[in-house]
């Protein structure tokens, strides 16, 4: 459970050997559509209930993780949705 996603990704990249493979499996919320700046209130309320039940920090989307990872210079990203 990583409250600071940027710090988490930085640490992943720091310990990843050159040419290594990173596999990240995480609970995420849906990606926002173009023009959206936040989740719908109903979605936020549901995520808050889940977070409280499992002591989770704020959620982010897969696109958020991809942005953090590419900002660190990693490429060749593949993503999957296991819902």
pLDDT at position 19 over 80 = yes
Q: What is the pLDDT of residues 26-81, one digit of tens each?
A: 989 999 999 999 999 999 999 999 999 999 999 999 999 999 999 999 999 999 88
Instruction: Give me the helix-helix angle, 62-71 and 5-15, nearest 10°.
Output: 50
For residue 2, CA distances in Å to 19, 55, 81 come to: 25, 11, 20
């Amino acid at each position: 459970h990583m409250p600071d996603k940027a710090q988490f990704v930085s640490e992943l990249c720091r310990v990843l050997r050159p040419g290594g493979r990173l596999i990240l499996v995480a609970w995420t919320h849906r990606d926002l559509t173009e023009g959206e700046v936040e989740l719908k209130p109903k979605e936020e309320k549901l995520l808050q209930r889940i977070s409280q039940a499992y002591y989770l920090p704020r959620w982010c989307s897969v696109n958020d993780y991809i942005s953090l990872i590419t900002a660190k210079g990693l490429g060749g990203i593949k993503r999957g949705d296991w819902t």
